[in-house]
């Protein structure tokens, strides 16, 4: 069985800074890392692999797939250290200008190039963009069934059974493989790979394609293919007051009480 | 291509979206609706007065993303609408991109604002982990938008459903057989009813990993009580440690309430959490680390130890309320 986990390289938003207007985010030079939701998806794939290795005549291959630009080769090593068998990358400058539809097209082409998968796992959204569109668009492109917003997942032979975390209920959904499944952060706690695994990660196979290797033109994925125009992207205008209350605890608490009284938010 | 097709599993949200579409019918064209699932025909009755000229009903559509997307795509093609508006419940958010992909449409799957400006549909959604609001325009001729409750604002001018000259809409069966879904819903498990109404609370005290032990929770409860606030928490405290039930968890996978006051204690401000507190009117953050990202989102910040600040604040709040209720004589 082959499981492909789609992973995204995201900005480390804990380090996000703004221009002097205080509203325009400064993304240039912001460090990148493996997305958090995707680690939940990968953790699940590796657990399936480990469970399969206990049984005779069943084997699971976990492929970490990512499409992006920049330092992707470096970032994906964490996925290999966590237990993916190999990595497949689509690296192309055009991907930095791709929207959800363009990125999904690149991922779908890469999955086809890999010969398909029994199970395709993704995070339900990315830490930075959070369009939440890739799993559903990918499933449509590959004409596969999808189960989204999954917080627990099991494989029973060729059947996947999942609990979808909806607002007021868990919805238990089943379908036969192959399928696309998107997961929430409640699914599991991703492992921290030991040093030995990190050292081994660099020796695992990694292949990288450009868009043209996948038979896609840059214009069909990036810029001109964009379906969305971003008019502006700034911190909301009603920016927070960001008043820091200084002094000893007693003074801080008095200042806070006075401020909350002024705001009219006390009972 | 003209007209709007509206669907939400929440009738209330469908009503909001239909009234928006109806108020802009000059620009958007006629409004149509779809109602699926249990009691679809009975529920559709109300849609007739919500500006839907036609409401299509089916009780046979499996509520999976795939079946919903294909059915709505079929209706969008049948009606030749230019816009499909969905309610951004979790199911709606997951269905919208698949529908968009089938229709070759651009999609915004969680619009927190939706408005017509100079004849153009403009959406806003949170991005960069809730730090920024992206104003976007969909460039494709056909558009799919999933909007959260309140995204379209109040219906302009207060629509009169019984306006003279208007006839209530028709109810029709789905004009084709719904797609057989490859995924099947086999069971539903209701979540335990919340023991508190966080969504309706005016004040929330939210505790994060700065709390060192479950045994210290009374300290926070005491403050919440003095403040007349409900207790909320970040994900680790409920999901990982089990100190508080998940119905009290704020963030991407939890609640996103809009209290007047959010008092955040020992919360670092991870992206997945802050999305859940953005709707608060006033945010106060207490954290030992001056560099904690939460301070960027706070109106008032205290760099300090919650173990010192919480009891002190609770004590002063109780003094204040005693002072107000005590007899001046």
CB contact under 8 A, B253 and A165: yes
To which H or E segment does residue A9 belong?
A: strand A9-11
- Does A238 score more than 70 pLDDT? no
CB atoms within 10 A of CB A237: 7
- CA–CA separation, B317 and A133 (whole Å): 46
Of A13, A170, A259, the CB nearest to B128: A13
| Phi-psi domain of A134 (left: phi exceeds 0; alpha: psi -120 through 50; beta: other) | alpha
Q: Are residues B169 and B216 in the same domain?
A: no
Q: How high is the mean pLDDT of chain A?
A: 93
What is the SS3 assignment for A126? coil
> Chain B partners of A125 at a C-beta cutoff of 8 Å?
252
Q: Are residues B224 and B116 in the same domain?
A: no
Quote the pLDDT of residue B160: 45
Predicted confidence band at B161 (pLDDT cuts at 50, 70, 90)?
A: very low
Cα dist from B109 to A102, B118, B147, B226, B329, whole Å: 16, 22, 7, 40, 61
Which of A18-22, A73-77, A151-155, B137-141 is least confident? A18-22
How close does chain B come to A203, measured CA to CA in Å?
33
Q: Token pair 């009234």 is at which residue? A: B19
Residue B145 shares a structural domain with residue B259: no
**Distance from the B220 Cα atom to the nearest Cα atom in chain A, whole angstroms:** 15
Q: What tens digit of pLDDT does each residue of B60-74 get?
A: 999 999 999 999 999
Specify whether B159 is located in the same domain as B102: yes
**B293/A174 CB distance under 8 A:** no
**Domain stops at, among B157, B173, B189:** B173
* Mutation site, B190, B271, B283, B318, interface A, largest A CB count within 10 A: B271
Range in A127-131, A180-184, A199-203, B312-316 with the lowest mean pLDDT: A127-131
**Do B162 and B248 lie in a common domain?**
no
Cβ–Cβ of A257/B293 closer than 8 Å? Answer: no
Option in B139, B271, B299 nearest A13 (CB): B271
Closest Cα of chain A to B169: distance in Å? 30
Which residues in chain B touch residue A159, judged by CB atoms under 8 angstroms apart? none
Domain harbouring B215, CATH code: 3.40.50.1220
* Distance separating alpha carbons of residues A184 and A36, to the nearest angstrom: 10
Contact A166 B90 (CB under 8 A): yes
- Centre a 10 Å sphere on the Cβ of residue B232 and count the other Cβ atoms it contains: 32
Share of chain A above pLDDT 70, in %: 99
User: Which token pair is B233?
Assistant: 């928490």
Cα–Cα dist B41/B55, whole Å: 9
User: Which range (A230-239, B17-26, B99-108, B203-212) has the least confidence?
Assistant: A230-239
Q: Which of B201, B225, B264, B228 is nearest to A267 (CA)?
A: B228
Q: How far apart are CA B177 and CA A128, in angstroms?
A: 39
- The candidate with the shortest Cα–Cα distance to B228, out of B202, B207, B195, is B202
Q: Which tens digits make up the pLDDT trace of B291-322?
A: 998 998 899 999 999 999 999 999 999 999 88
Give percent above pLDDT 70 in chain B: 93
> Quick one: pLDDT band at residue A169, thresholds 50, 70, 90?
very high
Q: How far is B290 from B323, CA to CA, in rounded Å?
A: 34
CATH code reported for the domain at A2-225: 3.40.50.620
B160 and B109, same structural domain? yes
> What is the least distance, in Å, from the CA of A16 to any CA of chain B?
9
The encoded tokens of residue A4 equal: 């492909």
**B122 in a domain, yes or no?**
yes
Together in a domain, B162 and B280: no
pLDDT at B137 > cutoff 90: yes
Is B182 within the bounds of a domain? no
Q: Which of A101, A146, A244 sits opposite B303 (nearest CB)?
A: A244
A42-86 pLDDT, tens per residue? 999 999 999 999 988 789 999 999 999 888 999 999 999 999 999
Is B195 domain-assigned? Answer: no
Q: What DSSP character marks residue A205?
A: -
Q: Report how far residue B219's alpha carbon sits from residue B83's, in angstroms, rounded to the nearest whole number.
A: 52
Question: To the nearest whole number, what is the mean pLDDT of chain B?
Answer: 90
Distance between A81 CA and the closest CA of chain B, angstroms: 23
How many domains does chain B fold into?
Answer: 2
A contacts of B235 (beta carbons < 8 Å): 185
Give yes or no for a contact between B260 and B284, defined as CB atoms under 8 angstroms apart. Answer: no
User: Quick one: which of B73, B96, B87 has its CA closest to B13?
Assistant: B87
Specify burial of residue A137 (Cβ count, 10 A radius: 0-12, 13-18, 19+): buried
In this structure, are residues A218 and A102 in contact, taking their beta carbons and an 8 Å threshold?
Answer: no
3-state secondary structure chain B: CCCEEEECCCHHHHHHHHHHHHHCHHHHCCEEEEEECCCHHHHHHHHCCCCCCEEEEECCCCCCHHHHHHHHHHHHHHHCCCEEEEECCHHHHHHHHHHHHHHCCEEEEEECEEEEECCEEEEEEEECCCCEEEEEEECCCCEEEEECCCCCCCCCCCCCCCCCCCCCCEEEECCCCCCCCCCEEEEEEECCCCCCCCCCCCEEEEECCCCCCHHHHHHHHHHHHHHCCEEEECHHHHHHCCCCCHHHEECCCCECCCCCEEEEECCCCCHHHHCCCCCCCEEEEEECCCCCHHHHHCCEEEECCHHHHHHHHHHHHHHHHHHHHCCCC
- Identify the bridge partners of residue A172 per DSSP, sorted by sequence position: A163, B187
pLDDT in tens, B220-241: 999 999 999 999 999 999 988 9
Closest CA to B112 of B91, B132, B95, B94: B132
Q: What is the pLDDT of residue B272?
A: 76
| pLDDT class of B199 with cuts at 50, 70, 90 | confident
Q: For B257-291, how does the pLDDT look when each residue is reduced to its tens digit (9 = 90+)?
A: 889 999 999 999 887 788 789 889 999 999 999 99
How many other CB atoms sit within 10 Å of the CB of residue B93?
24
Q: Could you tell me if residue B241 is inside a domain? A: yes
Pick from B12, B132, B255, B304 the residue to mutate for testing the A interface (most A CBs within 10 Å). Answer: B132
- Are the beta carbons of A240 and B139 separated by less than 8 Å? no
Cα A124 to Cα A173: distance, rounded to the nearest angstrom: 16
Give residue B107's pLDDT: 97
Q: Burial-class residue A169 by CB neighbours within 10 Å (0-12, 13-18, 19+).
A: middle
Q: Using the beta-carbon criterion (under 8 Å), do A132 and B186 form an inter-chain contact?
A: no
**Residue of chain B with shortest Cα separation from A148:** B94
Taking contacts as CB-CB distances below 8 angstroms, the residues of chain B near A131 are: 97, 109, 127
Say how far apart CA A180 and CA A225 lie, in whole Å.
Answer: 24
Using CB atoms, which residue from B90, B227, B272 is nearest to A167?
B90
Q: Using a cut of 0.90, tell me whether the model's pTM lies above it.
A: no
Helical packing angle, B306-325 and A249-263, nearest 10°? 50
Is position B180 within any domain?
no
Q: Do B128 and A104 touch (CB under 8 A)?
A: no
Domain end, chosen from B152, B173, B194, is at: B173
CA distance B167 to chain A (A): 36
Domain ranges of chain A: 2-225
Q: Do A166 and B89 touch (CB under 8 A)?
A: yes
**pLDDT at residue B162 is higher than 70:** no
A178 cis-preceded (ω within 30 degrees of 0): yes
Which chain A residues contact residue B293 at CB under 8 A?
Answer: 13-14, 16
Give the model's pLDDT for residue B67.
97
CATH code: domain of residue B131: 3.40.50.620
Partner-chain contact A140 B98, CB within 8 Å = yes
- The region, left, alpha or beta by phi > 0 then psi within -120 to 50, assigned to residue A92 is beta
With CB atoms and an 8 Å threshold, state whether B97 touches A179.
no
- Residue B183: its chain A contacts at CB < 8 A? 145-147, 173-175, 179
Chain B residues touching A253 at Cβ < 8 A: 302, 309, 312-313, 316
B313 is in which domain, residue-wise?
203-325
CA B158 to chain centre: 23
Calculate mean pLDDT across residues B131-136: 90
Cβ–Cβ of B183/A141 closer than 8 Å?
Answer: no
User: What was the pLDDT predicted at A2?
Assistant: 97
> Which is more confident, B247 or B227?
B227
In a domain, B190, yes or no: no
């Amino acid at each position: 069985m082959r499981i492909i986990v789609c992973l995204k390289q995201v900005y480390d938003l804990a380090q996000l800074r703004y221009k002097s207007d205080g509203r325009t985010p400064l993304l240039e030079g912001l460090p990148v890392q493996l997305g958090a939701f995707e680690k939940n998806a990968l953790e699940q794939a590796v657990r399936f692999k480990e469970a399969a290795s206990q049984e005779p005549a069943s084997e699971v291959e976990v492929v970490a797939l990512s499409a992006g630009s920049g330092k992707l080769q470096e970032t994906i090593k964490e996925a290999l250290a966590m237990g993916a068998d190999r990595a497949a990358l689509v690296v192309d400058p055009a991907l930095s200008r791709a929207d959800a539809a363009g990125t999904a097209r690149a991922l779908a082409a890469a999955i086809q190039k890999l010969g398909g998968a029994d199970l395709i796992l993704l995070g339900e959204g990315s830490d930075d963009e959070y369009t939440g569109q890739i799993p559903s668009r990918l499933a449509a492109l590959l004409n596969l069934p999808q189960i989204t917003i999954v917080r627990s997942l099991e494989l029973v032979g060729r059947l996947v059974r999942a609990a979808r975390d909806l607002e007021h209920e868990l919805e238990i959904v089943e379908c036969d493989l192959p399928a696309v499944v998107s997961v929430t952060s409640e699914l599991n706690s991703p492992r921290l790979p030991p040093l030995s695994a990190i050292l081994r990660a660099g020796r695992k196979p990694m292949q990288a394609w450009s868009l043209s290797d996948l038979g896609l033109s840059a214009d069909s994925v990036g810029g001109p293919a964009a379906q969305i125009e971003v008019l502006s992207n700034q911190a909301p205008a009603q920016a927070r007051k960001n008043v820091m209350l200084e002094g000893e605890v007693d003074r801080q608490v008095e200042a806070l009480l006075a401020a909350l009284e002024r705001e009219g938010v006390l009972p | 291509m003209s007209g709007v097709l509206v669907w939400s599993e929440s009738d209330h949200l469908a009503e909001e979206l239909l009234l928006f579409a109806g108020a802009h019918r000059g620009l958007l064209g006629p409004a149509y609706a779809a109602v699926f699932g249990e009691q679809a025909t009975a529920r559709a009755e109300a849609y007739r007065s919500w500006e839907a000229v036609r409401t299509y009903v089916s009780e046979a559509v499996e509520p999976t993303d795939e079946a919903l997307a294909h059915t709505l795509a079929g209706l969008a093609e049948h009606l030749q609408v230019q816009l499909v508006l969905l309610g951004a419940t979790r199911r709606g958010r997951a269905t919208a991109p698949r529908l968009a992909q089938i229709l070759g449409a651009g999609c915004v799957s969680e619009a927190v604002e939706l408005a017509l400006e100079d004849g153009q549909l403009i959406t806003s959604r949170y991005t960069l982990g809730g730090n920024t609001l992206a104003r976007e325009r969909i460039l494709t001729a056909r558009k799919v938008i999933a909007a959260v409750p309140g995204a379209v604002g109040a219906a302009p001018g207060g629509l009169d459903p019984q306006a003279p000259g208007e006839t209530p809409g028709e109810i029709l069966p789905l004009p084709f057989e719904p797609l057989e879904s490859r995924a099947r819903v086999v069971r539903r498990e209701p979540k335990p009813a919340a023991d508190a109404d966080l969504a309706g609370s005016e004040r929330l005290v939210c505790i994060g990993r700065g709390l060192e032990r479950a045994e210290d929770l009374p300290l926070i409860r005491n403050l919440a009580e003095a403040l007349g606030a409900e207790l909320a928490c970040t994900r680790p405290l409920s999901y990982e440690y089990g100190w508080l039930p998940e119905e009290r968890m704020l963030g991407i996978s939890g609640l996103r309430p809009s209290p007047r006051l959010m008092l955040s204690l020992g919360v670092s401000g991870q992206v997945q959490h802050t999305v859940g507190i953005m709707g608060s009117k006033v945010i106060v953050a207490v954290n030992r680390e001056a560099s904690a990202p939460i301070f960027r989102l706070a109106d008032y910040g205290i760099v300090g130890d919650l173990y010192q600040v919480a009891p002190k604040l609770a004590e002063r709040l109780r003094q204040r309320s005693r002072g107000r209720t005590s007899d001046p004589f």
